[in-house]
Structure 1
Amino acid sequence: MRNNSLADLHGLVWTSLMAAAIGAGAFLIVPIGPVPVSMQPFFVFLAGFVLGPKRGAMAVGLYILAGTIGLPIFAGGKSGFGHLLGPTGGYLFGFVVSAWLCGKARMESTKIGWSAGLGFGGAALLAVYAIGAAWLKFTLSISWHKAWLLGVVPFIPWDGLKLVAALMCSRYLARFGLLPGQR
Structure 2
Amino acid sequence: MSGTQSVDLVGDEAVSNIALAALLAALTAAFAYVSIPLPGLPAPVSFQVFGVYFAGLLLGPRWGGFSIGLYLLAGIAGAPVFSNAGSGLGYVVGPTGGYLVGFLLAAVLIGAIAHRSIEPKPLSEVPLARQVVALLAGLVCIYAVGVPWLVAVAGLPPAEALTVGALIFLPGDAIKIAATLALVKGGVLARQQSTATA
TM over 0.5: yes
Q: 1:154 aligns with which of 168, 186, 190?
A: 168
Q: 1:23 aligns with which of 26, 29, 50?
A: 29
Separation of aligned partners in 2, 1:58 and 1:96: 8
Give CA-to-partner distance per residue, 1:86-125, whole Å, 9 cap, x none: 0110000000111112212033742232210111111111
**In the alignment, which residue of structure 1 is the partner of 2:3?**
none
Describe how 1:94-113 pairs up with structure 2 within 5 A. 94-104=102-112, 105-107=114-116, 109-110=121-122, 111=124, 112-113=126-127
Whether 1:165 and 2:179 are equivalent positions in the alignment is yes
Structure 2 residue ranges without an equivalent (≥5)? 1-5
Higher helix share: 2
Structure 1 residue ranges without an equivalent (≥5)? none
CA distance 1:163–1:103, change in 2 (3 Å): same
Describe how 1:86-125 pairs up with structure 2 within 5 A. 86-104=94-112, 105-107=114-116, 109-110=121-122, 111=124, 112-125=126-139
Q: Is the 8 A contact 1:42 1:165 kept in 2?
A: no
Give CA-to-partner distance per residue, 1:38-85, whole Å, 9 cap, x none: 111111111110111111111111100000010011100010010010
More off after superposition, 26-35 vs 156-165: 156-165
TM-score scaled by structure 1?
0.91
Whether 1:9 and 2:15 are equivalent positions in the alignment is yes
RMSD: 2.1
CA distance 1:174–1:46, change in 2 (3 Å): closer
- Specify which structure has the bigger relative contact order, considering alpha-carbon pairs within 8 angstroms and separated by 6 or more residues: 1
Larger Rg: 2
Whether 1:59 and 2:75 are equivalent positions in the alignment is no
CA distance 1:182–1:15, change in 2 (3 Å): closer
State the identity as a percent: 32
TM-score scaled by structure 2?
0.85
Q: 1:79 aligns with which of 87, 101, 120?
A: 87
CA distance 1:182–1:14, change in 2 (3 Å): closer
Separation of aligned partners in 2, 1:82 and 1:177: 34
